[in-house]
């Protein structure tokens, strides 16, 4: 099988003439596969020669670079087939989407491709399991419906219950959607404003941007289901980045005019008075003492797992805005970092708007990050035992030193 892969690679590696970037008017004879290996070994920040600086493809399908990409894709398809026959966990070629192919072609090493193959295989297995569960559920529903039809055919009395005679009206999911959306429309007219700053795409990798999109979707669902929702404004949104593209997949109705979702490419400085804006950042030293409905609070839409730099603090200082942080240290002792997700921040702000009670609001802080009273007592006991052992060890050493002959 490895021999088949090598033969196919040699077929695709026909010598072609190409110009090495950085030279003017000089033409070298270099095999296409050698150039491909050079491109794939480039760092992730550098782009392929056949890509524009803005990330959009600038090649038509009949150009040599597009033909080279097609050859590389065929080589990757053969690589997937070889790995599958070796027993590795790789996805089916038919299930790989065009954007996933683009990401595969941009990976710089074989190890990165293997990790991405494993991720795509896991996604494929999850979808296959969901499909099997759905088919089983449909079979159970059909079987139950046949049993009900047989029972009703033998019964001469009136049958009461769901799908039968009843005095209650059924509330459909679409009715609940209209109800919750109506709440958001009222919040847009009379509610308290809240800003989510979506300008941190350049500080996140692809995985973090996808996670940010999921958290924004959870924020929308959480705010919509609340009795008194915020009028949330998603400012500084870049619709061409991964965050907004993934959010469009989660919220298909995002750009429909009747959908109650405020998203704009404009800055919050252009929409609201500067003296009313308060940037919530965990890196500042000013604690938020109470919720002021006249202030407009700003939450940064950033997942900073890879870097803990105070980016929001620097941005707020540069714009001359007031800053505040949640008084978490007054209520908890943290095991690890104090960073909260965007939906957890929104849940805390919703509770503060309703009750202005930090004790109730901080129930949304995940307990896995907080040291409980029992854990704190156990830790203190361990420290006491360690101190006793250290004291006894020191006394023993002093006695031994005093008994030594002079």
Name the residue with higher pLDDT: 38 or 260: 260
Distance CA 96, CA 121 (A): 10
Distance CA 201, CA 150 (A): 59
pLDDT tens, residue by residue, 224-279: 999 999 999 999 999 888 899 999 988 888 888 889 999 999 999 999 999 999 99
> 187, 188, 185: which is closest to 177 by C-alpha?
185
Distance CA 399, CA 406 (A): 14
pLDDT at 282: 87
Q: What percent of the chain has pLDDT over 70?
A: 76
Angle of helix 32-40 versus helix 2-12 axis, rounded to 10: 110
Distance CA 387, CA 367 (A): 29
Q: Walk me through the domains of the chain, giving residue ranges and CATH numbers.
A: 75-166 (no CATH), 177-371 (3.40.1280.30)
pLDDT at 190: 92
Side-chain-side CA neighbours of residue 193 (13 Å): 17
What are the beta bridge partners of residue 234?
196, 263
**Secondary structure element (H or E) that encloses residue 318, with its range:** helix 311-319
Buried b (16+ CB within 10 A) or exposed e, 264-302: eeeebeeebeeeebbbbbbebeeebeebeeebbbbbbbb
> 180, 201, 340: which is closest to 261 by C-alpha?
180
Residue 31 pLDDT class (50, 70, 90 cuts): very low
Q: In degrees rounded to 5, what are phi and psi of residue 8?
A: -65, -35
What 3-state class would DSSP assign to 229?
coil
DSSP 239-293: TTSHHHHHHHHH-TTTT-TTS--EE-SS-HHHHS-GGGEEEE-TTSS-B--S--T
Question: Is residue 406 over pLDDT 70?
Answer: no
DSSP class of 195: E
Question: Is residue 6 over pLDDT 50?
Answer: no
Distance CA 316, CA 296 (A): 14
Q: In the predicted model, what is the mean pLDDT of residues 120-127?
A: 92
In this structure, of 39-48, 77-86, 226-235, 288-297, the range with the lowest mean pLDDT score is 39-48
Question: Is residue 393 over pLDDT 70?
Answer: no
| Kind of pairing between the strands at 296-300 and 322-324 | unpaired
Distance CA 46, CA 327 (A): 42
Residue 405 pLDDT class (50, 70, 90 cuts): low
In this structure, of 50-54, 237-241, 289-293, the range with the lowest mean pLDDT score is 50-54
Read off the tokens for 264: 């704009």
> 238, 243, 190: which is closest to 217 by C-alpha?
243
Distance CA 346, CA 353 (A): 10
Question: Is residue 44 over pLDDT 50?
Answer: no
Counting Cβ atoms within 10 Å, is residue 69 exposed (0-12), middle (13-18) or buried (19+)?
buried
pLDDT tens, residue by residue, 70-105: 888 889 989 999 999 988 999 999 889 888 888 888
pLDDT at 53: 41
Q: In degrees rounded to 5, what are phi and psi of residue 71?
A: -65, -40
């Amino acid at each position: 099988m490895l021999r088949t892969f090598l033969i196919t690679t040699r077929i695709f590696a026909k010598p072609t003439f190409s110009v090495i970037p950085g030279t003017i008017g000089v033409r070298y004879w270099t095999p296409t596969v050698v150039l491909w290996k050079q491109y794939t070994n480039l760092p992730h920040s550098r782009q392929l020669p056949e890509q524009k600086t803005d990330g959009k493809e600038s090649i038509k399908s009949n150009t040599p670079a597009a033909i080279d990409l097609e050859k590389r894709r065929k080589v990757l398809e053969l690589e997937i087939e070889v790995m599958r026959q070796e027993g590795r966990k790789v996805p089916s070629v038919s299930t790989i989407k065009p954007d996933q192919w683009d990401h595969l072609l941009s990976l710089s090493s074989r190890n990165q491709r293997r990790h991405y193959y494993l991720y795509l295989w896991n996604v494929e297995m999850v979808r296959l399991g969901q499909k099997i569960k759905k088919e089983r559920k449909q079979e159970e529903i059909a079987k139950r419906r046949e049993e009900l039809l047989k029972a009703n055919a033998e019964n001469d009395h009136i049958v009461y219950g769901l799908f039968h005679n009843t005095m209650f009206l059924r509330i459909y999911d679409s009715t609940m959607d209209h109800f919750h959306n109506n709440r958001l429309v009222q919040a847009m007219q009379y509610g308290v404003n809240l800003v989510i700053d979506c300008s941190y795409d350049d500080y996140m990798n692809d995985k973090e941007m996808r996670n940010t999109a999921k958290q924004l979707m959870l924020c929308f669902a959480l705010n919509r289901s609340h009795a008194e929702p915020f009028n949330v404004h998603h400012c500084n949104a870049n619709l061409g980045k991964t965050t907004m593209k993934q959010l469009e997949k989660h919220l298909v109705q995002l750009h429909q005019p009747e959908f109650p979702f405020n998203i704009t490419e404009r800055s919050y400085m252009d929409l609201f008075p500067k003296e009313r804006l308060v940037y919530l950042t965990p890196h500042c030293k000013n604690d938020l003492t109470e919720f002021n409905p006249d202030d407009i609070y700003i939450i940064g839409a950033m997942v900073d797992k890879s870097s803990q730099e105070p980016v929001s603090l620097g941005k707020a200082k540069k714009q001359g805005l007031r800053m505040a942080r949640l008084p978490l240290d007054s209520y908890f002792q943290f095991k690890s970092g104090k960073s909260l997700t965007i939906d957890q921040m929104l849940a805390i702000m919703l509770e503060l708007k309703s009750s202005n009670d930090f004790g109730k609001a901080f129930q949304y802080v995940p307990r896995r990050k907080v040291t409980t009273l029992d854990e704190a007592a156990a830790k203190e006991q361990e420290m006491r035992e360690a101190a006793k052992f250290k004291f006894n060890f020191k006394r023993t050493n002093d006695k031994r030193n005093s008994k030594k002959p002079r």
